[in-house]
Amino acid sequence: MNAWFNIPAQKDQDTPAPVFTSGQAVMTFPVASALISVVWQVLRKVFPSWGSELYVPFTLALLAGAAIYFQSAPKATTSGGKVAELFFSLLNSIALAAAALGIKDVST
């Protein structure tokens, strides 16, 4: 296990790792936020009434955060550890929603 990136080490260096079909390629913040934005734009074209609905990218971000959490989060053994993992996953999901919504600062 690669301690820096929480991914399994490649056993056979001659065998290329799948790049496009790997879940790890989608589970990076820049790719996930871009995908949320693209999916939202596609949904806005398919369902025009969703264009002004801000819950759509927020919901997409929560779904992406849940997918990232269930695929890659190390599972804590204590209840406090599990709460912390869920809390940070929720914060990351909110950051993904902010990126998709174009929120760049939090000044009033």
Query: pLDDT tens digit string along 60-106?
Result: 999 988 887 777 666 667 878 778 888 888 888 898 899 888 888 87
Domain of residue 45: give its range.
24-101
Query: Does residue 32 sit within a domain?
Result: yes
- Of 28, 57, 29, nearest to 43 by C-alpha is 57
Q: Can you tell me the distance from the alpha carbon of 67 to that of 23, in angstroms, rounded to the nearest whole number?
A: 10
Q: How many structural domains is the chain composed of?
A: 1
User: Which stretch of 12-16, 26-30, 86-90, 103-107 has the lowest confidence by average pLDDT?
Assistant: 12-16
Task: Name residue, tokens 């990232």.
Answer: 68
